[in-house]
Amino acid sequence: MEAKIQQAVALLKQALETHGDGLVYPCSMGIEGSVMVDLICRHGLDIPVMTLDTGRLPQATYDVIAAFEKRYGIRVAVIFPDCQEVEAMVREHGVNLFRQSVALRKQCCEIRKVHPLMRALKGKTAWITGRRREQSKGRAGLQAIETDPVYGLKKYNPLLEWSMDDVWEYVKTHDVPYNRLHDAHYLSIGCECCTRAITVGEDERAGRWWWENDEGAAECGLHVMSLKEISGELEDGEGI
């Protein structure tokens, strides 16, 4: 376990040394986020932490944001979707559009998550993620450092080789604040309306958009969006 911790910290330090102010950690406030925030703060790494508030998060997620700020003396930058985009979407399709089709669910994720992240990443050169290979079949092929072949924005995955047991061992050993929904068998936590507890034997991300029967591949688009969108589509002056 100690070797995995050292490897994760080394990758974080490498990312910071390489990218400096161009590096950011968008935290989902799940259990991996707890580990990442603790590693960043425990080792004095000047990596800003931000999170996306979609407007439909469970209270437990807001509670862990507050717990991080109190424990570590940091201010988490909270990023919101564009209210006009959300209003137009809901006006056209209704408040629960994500249940109507995979396409509309992805549109909801795009407006509430992807577009705000695009604004937050503008001007950045790299970001940290809490993704692990064990989380799903779709993440089994991830690499520790990934580079978009066209635009060069890099992703660092310090917890890539960690198991869920590793994550929990770290959290318990260091008494790290965590999202209490995990205690009710929510392993992957997003919007309240799109997240459920999982049962024994299910994929870790099976509790996300479970009604889609794998049609949506259990991804919201944050990790599959075009780097062209991040790098070029926002007007100057739009920011966090």
Q: Where are the domains of the chain?
A: 2-232
The residues that bridge with 155 in the sheet, in sequence order, are 127, 146
In angstroms, the CA 228 to CA 137 distance is 26
Contact 236, 75 (CB under 8 A): no
For the chain, helix (H) and strand (E) counts, in that order, are 8, 6
Q: Which residue has the higher pLDDT, 226 or 144?
A: 144
Q: Please report which helix (H) or strand (E) contains residue 154, including its range.
A: strand 154-156
Backbone angles phi, psi at 103, to 5 degrees: -60, -45
Confidence at residue 152, expressed as pLDDT on a 0 to 100 scale: 62
* 233: three-class secondary structure by DSSP: coil
pLDDT bucket at 234, cuts 50 / 70 / 90: very low
Q: How many CB atoms lie within 10 A of CB 199?
A: 9
- Provide the CA 140 distance to its chain's centre, in angstroms: 17
Confidence at residue 148, expressed as pLDDT on a 0 to 100 scale: 65
Confidence at residue 240, expressed as pLDDT on a 0 to 100 scale: 30
User: Residue 227 pLDDT more than 70?
Assistant: no
Query: What is the distance between the terminal CA atoms of the chain, rounded to a whole angstrom?
Result: 36
Confidence at residue 233, expressed as pLDDT on a 0 to 100 scale: 35
pLDDT bucket at 216, cuts 50 / 70 / 90: very low
Torsion over CA of 65, 66, 71 and 73, rounded to 10 degrees?
90
In angstroms, the CA 125 to CA 105 distance is 29
- Look up the CATH architecture of domain 2-232: 3-Layer(aba) Sandwich (3.40)
Q: What is the pLDDT of residues 128-184, one digit of tens each?
A: 999 998 877 777 788 899 986 655 689 999 999 999 999 999 999 999 999 999 999
Torsion over CA of 90, 95, 61 and 141, rounded to 10 degrees?
-80
In angstroms, the CA 108 to CA 200 distance is 29
Contact 52, 79 (CB under 8 A): yes
Instruction: Give the single-character DSSP code of 97.
Output: G
Report pTM: 0.82
Contact 177, 68 (CB under 8 A): yes
Q: Is 220 a catalytic residue?
A: yes
